[in-house]
Structure 1
Amino acid sequence: MADVNRGNRPLSPHLTIYRPQMTSMSSIMVRITAIALFVLAVFPVWWLMAAATSQDSFAFIDGLMRSWLGDLVLFGATWAMFYHMFGRLRHVIWDFGYFLDVRTSENMGIVMFIAATAFAVIVAIVF
């Protein structure tokens, strides 16, 4: 059997020298927004079920959704929806083989954030 000295081997330095890239961070954010949207889907379902059951339960959830906290949650959900949509669009573009160079990919990550924010603000102003 090979003489393996496991106690004196150096640890992998990847955690000390790794620097997160825009492409990896934006891809992780696409996954996080998908999970957040899945969790936030409870609110419209709750609102519709309350509307179908009683006036008191509907008044509670409707008041919650129309409060400043509800507005904040809905704005965050709108931002997450747009960010996730732009992220999926970016992956479709990459699947077709376009814009795969590093500089353009990083710029697309920045544009995704700016576009999602701009679209969410527009929706908040219009509605």
Structure 2
Amino acid sequence: MTDVREALMVGRTSDGRTVRRPLSPHLQVYKPQITSTLSIFHRFTGIALSVGTLLLVWWLVAAATSDAAYASVSGFIRSPVGYLLLFGWTAALWYHFCSGIRHLFWDVGYGFELPTVHATGKAVLVATVVLTLLTWVVGLATL
């Protein structure tokens, strides 16, 4: 039994007999699917939005504190690192938004057929890219 997949095929029935059946998926055995990957990203972007909102709060507190504090935070936000963080936050915002709409349809019982699940997953990814780029094109054009 050199293959870890073989070791994971051993289980027991309720009366104690040994049977060959798959147990819980293990990371070395489990092949990620688009559905599981998008679900993990939905959770991840929710966390990223929460953490990224701290940057917005920092900027607002600095604006309310003094001109010097505001200038300091604005300088950071306009740095390459600041732009990278804002770009990531924008992408997380649009992904979470689009994925949330997908979840709303699921909540009312629509879109559970496997081809529909795959199509809407790909649509969420495309919409995220388009909306993120559109946000930045419009945002940078107004500077």
* TM-score of the two chains, using structure 1 as the length reference: 0.86
Which of 25, 29, 38 is matched with 1:14 structurally? 25
Q: Does 1:58 align with 2:70?
A: yes
User: What SS does structure 2 have at the residue aligned with 1:41?
Assistant: helix
Q: How far has the Cα of 1:110 moved from its partner?
A: 1.4
Q: CA deviation at 1:51?
A: 1.1
Residue aligning to 1:92: 104
Query: Measured at CA, do residues 97 and 12 of structure 1 come closer, stay the same or move farther in structure 2, by a change above 3 Å?
Result: closer
Asked if 1:79 corresponds to 2:109, the answer is no
Which of residues 37, 43, 46 is equivalent to 2:58? 46
What number of residue pairs does the alignment pair up?
A: 123
Alignment match of 2:116 (pick from 93, 104, 110) = 104
- With a CA cutoff of 8 Å and minimum separation of 6, indicate the structure with the bigger relative contact order: 1
Look up the match of 1:36.
48
Partner-residue secondary structure (3-state), 2:31:
coil
Give the letter for the 1:82 counterpart.
W
Q: Which ranges of 4 or more aligned residues in structure 1 deviate by more than 6 Å?
A: none
**Identity score, percent:** 38
TM-score when scaled to structure 2? Answer: 0.77
**How has the CA–CA distance of structure 1 residues 74 and 103 changed in structure 2, closer, same or farther, with 3 Å as cutoff?**
same
Residue 55 of structure 1 and its aligned partner are, at CA, apart by 2.0
| Higher fraction of strand | 2
Distance (whole Å) between structure 2 residues aligned to residue 85 and residue 116 of structure 1: 9
* CA RMSD across the alignment: 2.4
What do the CA deviations read for 1:65-102 (whole angstroms, capped 9, x no partner)?
11222111111111100100111111111112111111
One-letter code aligned to 2:107: D
Where structure 2 has 5 or more consecutive residues not aligned to the other structure, the ranges are 1-15
The change in CA–CA distance for 1:77 and 1:13 in structure 2 (over 3 A counts) is: closer
1:8-35 Cα offsets, whole Å, 9 max, x none, are: xx99473244222111111111110000
